[in-house]
Amino acid sequence: MRTEKSILLKPFLLLIITNLLFSMDALGADRITGKSFATRSEVIARHGMAATSQPLATGVALDILKAGGNAVDAAIAANACLCLMEPTGCGIGGDLFAIIWGAETQKLYGLNASGRSPQSLTLAELRKRDLEYIPPLGPLPVTVPGCVDGWYALHERFGNLPLKEVLAPAIRYARRGFPVSELIAYNWELGLQARQEYPGFPETFSIDGRAPRKGEMWHNSQLANTLEKIAQDGRDAFYRGEIARTIAEFMQHHGGFLSYEDLAAHESEWVEPVSTTYRGFRVWELPPNGQGIAALQILNILEGFDITGMGFGSIDYIHRFVEAKKLAFEDRAKFYADPAYNTIPVEALISKPYAENRRKLIDPKRAGRAYEAGNPALHEGDTIYLTVADKDRNMVSLIQSNYWGMGSGMCPDGLGFSLQNRGMLFNLKEGEFNAYAPSKRPFHTIIPAFITRDDKPWVSFGVMGGATQPQAHVQIVVNLVDFGMNLQEVGDAPRILHRGSSQPTGEVMTDGGMVYLETGFDYETVRELVKMGHEVGWNVGSFGGYQAILYDADNDVYYGASESRKDGQAAGY
């Protein structure tokens, strides 16, 4: 029964709701955050910016910048913290790649800090074990960890603060503890379940046999001791000292092949970044043994289409993106490998004429079931990505990983970390580019990226997540350039993921693979893609993890953005 009071209130409430909706339209959702899928505004600051996948690591990066460190110092400090705080994606038992913009020289530098296979393990030995693939867990997929040498290579060339000071926050957190965040706690439980039976793993990464829960304090005094030795005695503590001997003895005891000699022989490699142009912007990646040039190949193919006219989320755009990805990944399966063992036609693969020829293979109305790799003139992983920029306008794009979640499950006695399982990405077919060989770097999935505009720095970015990475790199660039999204929107936009292409490990695409569309695409689009011959599936949690910093030269400020699907944060000062 309506009362007089309710009748009087009705027009008043209607007025409030009308005004609220008007203000949201004029000032709110559409104007403040832009696209309907945007989760928050960009972060804007002048003197420095950091974006990582864990807020405490972002805070450490800013602390280092405020203490007089530069972007490289801050990136190393954040990475060291993530080795403790996010062992589900990275650790000092893994590898590292980085692209650095040097403000003084006004140029880009590339670092490949990936490790090589054991000298004493041969393809014949692996084949003798009747293996089709190198298993993901245990001693066989372990390769030399390149992370620590990568820190020292970066610091020696660009660092400002003493490395003891740079590593100090990670050591403090390891001793005093930190509260585990939600998504990391979830992945930690999954990682522990899969590795319970591997030597040293439950002792290193569990509390009474279980993973730490959200909000629970986690301490790792063993890792603190290891980092202290590295800070005190330098890279040789890890590769030639007590740590190296502990790793070698542990591996030998548990049937592994990684030796002291393998660790002592390791060194990182400075490489020239490679690039292509995309509608006037220059996109930079690192050359193989990584997969970065796949992003460049896809962009070259897409540049021949009117992507803006097709519109974001359209059937035409999704179809062409997926087919371009299939074409590039066939080349990835054939050619991408350690360049020390193969002549890889990088310049031809990322050339515009080659892309034009490959583009002609795309049927605008039908999905391709299989493609051959081109003739250019001749699984799922977990990772962390971070980017930092400083007051002098140096910028760092850095990615680091154990490869498959928490790595091989092999945790050397008392060191506080797991060794990576990157070796599982080798091919066991003799004669292939990525075929296993001693002292060889495997095909690598982790890739940092950078965009320049008019030969000046513009965007440092990356997207973690195995084979997702080059696909997501392309979508970030297309969202920025073709669809005019801001730095946060390009990461929040629903993503496209194709799986099932031929792989460097030997699997071959025969059925067209599977297209996964993140929530946010119209169901009508899904139906039309199925009619075109695409198999469409649903996937949760494998669409990557994005961080980015954009330098706005006109206003002399940085914009920062962080992945809304992860626990991370962008922050500046």
Residue numbers annotated as active site: 383
Q: Which helix (H) or strand (E) holds 249?
A: helix 242-253
Are 265 and 438 in contact by the 8 Å Cβ rule? The answer is no
Q: What is the phi-psi region of residue 316: left when phi exceeds 0, alpha when psi lies from -120 to 50, beta otherwise?
A: alpha
Q: What span, in angstroms and rounded, lies between the C-alpha atoms of 398 and 112?
A: 11
Q: CA geometry: angle at 515 spanning 513 and 518, to 5°?
A: 155
- The residues, any chain, with a CB within 8 Å of residue 475's CB and separated by 6 or more, are 321, 490, 493, 495, 496
Report the residue count for the chain.
573
> Chain centroid to CA 106: how far?
25
What is the per-residue burial (b if ≥16 Cβ within 10 Å, else e) of 472-483?
bbbbbbbbbbbb
Q: What span, in angstroms and rounded, lies between the C-alpha atoms of 300 and 107?
A: 23
Are 429 and 435 in contact by the 8 Å Cβ rule? The answer is yes
Ranges assigned E (strand) in 315-436? 382-389, 395-403
- Segments in 439-538 forming alpha helices (H): 468-481, 487-492, 523-531
- The residues, any chain, with a CB within 8 Å of residue 214's CB and separated by 6 or more, are 180, 181, 182, 185
325 φ/ψ angles, rounded to the nearest 5 degrees: -60, -45
Here the tokens at position 93 are 């038992």
Here the tokens at position 505 are 């490990």
Q: What span, in angstroms and rounded, lies between the C-alpha atoms of 284 and 257?
A: 36
Q: Which residue has the tokens 């009087």?
A: 8
Q: What span, in angstroms and rounded, lies between the C-alpha atoms of 394 and 410?
A: 37
Q: What span, in angstroms and rounded, lies between the C-alpha atoms of 243 and 263?
A: 10
> Chain centroid to CA 206: how far?
25
**How large is the greatest C-alpha to C-alpha distance in the chain, in angstroms?**
90
- Map residue 154 onto helix, strand or coil: helix
Are 80 and 170 in contact by the 8 Å Cβ rule? The answer is yes
Q: Which residue has the tokens 């209130």?
A: 9
Q: CA geometry: angle at 527 spanning 523 and 531, to 5°?
A: 165
- Segments in 48-146 forming alpha helices (H): 55-66, 71-85, 123-128
Q: How are beta strands 496-499 and 274-278 bridged, if at all?
A: unpaired
Per DSSP, the residues of 156-186 read HHH--S-HHHHHHHHHHHHHH-EEPPHHHHH
